[in-house]
């Protein structure tokens, strides 16, 4: 298999969306997607990028992908 082996145990109940705005970052549980779409800071008229991380990183470490695109 060509799959990348996770360095971390994957538990979807501990995974979140992070809505990045100029003023604040909002964390929304992955299993509560409707809360993201209903959040007043989410602008469906603007382009949206979804970056999925967590298989080889975690919230406690730096994230080069986020630093690069934001």
Q: Domain tally for the chain?
A: 1
Within-domain flag for 55 = yes
Per-residue pLDDT, 47 = 85
At residue 38, the pLDDT reads 95
Q: According to the model, what pLDDT value does residue 8 have?
A: 65
More confident residue, 67 or 12: 12
Domain housing 29:
12-69
| Residue at 7 is within a domain | no
CA distances from 3 to 6, 17, 25, 48, 56 (A): 9, 23, 31, 27, 12
Residue 3 within a domain? no
Closest to 22 measured CA to CA, from 1, 41, 48:
41
CA dist list (Å): 38 to 8, 51, 67:
30, 19, 26
Domain for residue 24, yes or no? yes
Note whether residue 16 is domain-resident. yes
| Residue at 23 is within a domain | yes
pLDDT tens-digit readout, 16-29: 888 888 888 888 88
Burial class of residue 61, CB neighbours in 10 A (0-12, 13-18, 19+): exposed
């Amino acid at each position: 298999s060509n799959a990348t082996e996770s360095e971390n145990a994957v538990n979807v109940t501990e995974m979140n969306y992070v809505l990045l705005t100029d003023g604040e970052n909002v964390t929304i549980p992955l299993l509560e997607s409707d809360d993201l779409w209903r959040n007043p800071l989410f602008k469906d008229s603007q382009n949206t990028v979804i970056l999925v991380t967590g298989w080889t990183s975690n919230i406690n470490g730096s994230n080069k992908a986020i630093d690069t695109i934001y």
